[in-house]
């Protein structure tokens, strides 16, 4: 491109703010619109189809049968509740472990130690998910170091371990932004530790906690591998989706099941929004 042409183009963009903006936004909007919302729409649409039980082909006629089955069969309710329970437990456990850790990292450690601690938190993410899950399988097996056996508890423990960094990092980032002077001021005004935490630290760190919980909650809700490895005989929503795609080739029903975690996350995000935490992120 010649210099003159480049200059003319620059001048044109300078004068036309609208064109400039649309050029800048087109890539992210395309991603959001096509790749993300488009995929969700396709998911919902295919959930309204069915498969021909005779040939296994897709029947592209709208039917609510999949959702009807999902809502009426008791087993899916049980599995949904179990999955939400596991996700909530994992989130809670991660919060209890992550908060003190993030606080120590952000407020007590020296700047040098802080860097090393962040690296230490990130290190487990470098190892494969499967390796970590299998490591827990060995730990939990009846002749293993822990020997607690498999089941839902084992699943919650393993998932808590896997997603812990996703809880620590947002809280750490949130607490780091919290000025030390606020803590000192609280102390000067006579607040003890617990009161300072309740009235200063927690409200200011709350959006970060929410951010972390969105990670741990949604990651746990969609997981189906950990529960296969350490879950014993239990199954979660993800397993139902997987079984219907992989084994039965029943894509429409799998899509219908997959809308359940989407709906749960939408409800969760709406609830979070009411608390106002999203505005402060």
Q: Which is nearer to other proteins, 155 or 218 (CB)?
A: 155
| Contacting residue, 14, 15, 233, 274, with other proteins by CB under 8 A | 233
Residue 112 binding other proteins, by CB under 8 A: no
CB of 127 to other proteins, least distance (A): 17
Among 148, 183, 222, 232, interactor with other proteins by CB under 8 A? 232
Is residue 136 a contact point for other proteins (CB under 8 A)? no
As measured in angstroms, the least distance from the Cβ of 42 to other proteins is: 18
Kindly give, in sequence order, each residue whose CB lies less than 8 Å from that of residue 29, ignoring residues fewer than 6 positions away.
none
Binding of residue 85 to other proteins (CB under 8 A): no
Judge residue 43's burial from the number of C-beta atoms within 10 Å of its C-beta, 0-12 exposed, 13-18 middle, 19 or more buried: middle
Closest contact distance (angstroms) between CB of 130 and other proteins is: 10
Of 103-111, 120-128, 212-220, 249-257, the window that binds other proteins (rule: CB under 8 A) is: 249-257
17 or 131: CB nearest other proteins: 131
Considering the rule CB under 8 A, would residue 243 count as an interface residue with other proteins? yes
Contact residues: other proteins, CB under 8 A: 51, 53-56, 69, 73, 75-76, 78-79, 134, 137-138, 141-144, 149-150, 228-229, 231-235, 240, 243-244, 246-250, 253
């Amino acid at each position: 491109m010649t210099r003159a042409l480049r200059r003319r183009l620059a001048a044109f963009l300078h004068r036309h703010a609208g064109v400039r903006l649309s050029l800048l936004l087109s890539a992210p909007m395309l991603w959001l619109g096509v790749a993300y919302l488009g995929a969700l729409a396709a998911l919902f649409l295919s959930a309204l189809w069915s498969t021909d039980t005779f040939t296994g082909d897709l029947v592209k006629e709208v039917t609510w049968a999949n959702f009807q089955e999902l809502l009426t069969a008791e087993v899916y309710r049980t599995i949904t509740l179990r999955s939400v329970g596991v996700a909530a437990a994992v989130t809670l456990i991660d919060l209890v472990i992550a908060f003190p850790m993030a606080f120590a990292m952000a407020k007590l450690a020296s700047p040098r130690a802080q860097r090393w601690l962040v690296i230490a938190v990130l290190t487990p993410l470098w190892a494969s998910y499967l390796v970590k899950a299998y490591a827990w399988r060995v730990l939990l097996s009846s002749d293993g170091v822990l020997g607690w056996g498999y089941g839902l508890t084992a699943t919650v423990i393993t998932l808590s371990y896997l997603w812990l960094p996703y809880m620590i990092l947002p809280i750490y980032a949130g607490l780091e932004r919290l000025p030390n002077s606020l803590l000192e001021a609280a102390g000067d005004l006579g607040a003890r530790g617990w009161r300072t935490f309740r009235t200063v630290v927690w409200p200011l760190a709350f959006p970060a906690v929410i951010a972390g919980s969105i990670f741990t909650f949604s990651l746990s809700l969609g997981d189906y591998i950990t529960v296969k490895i350490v879950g014993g005989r239990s199954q979660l929503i993800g397993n139902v989706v997987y079984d219907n795609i992989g084994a039965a080739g029943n894509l429409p029903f799998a899509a219908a099941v997959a809308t359940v975690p989407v709906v749960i996350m939408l409800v969760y995000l709406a609830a979070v929004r009411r608390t106002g935490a999203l505005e402060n992120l």
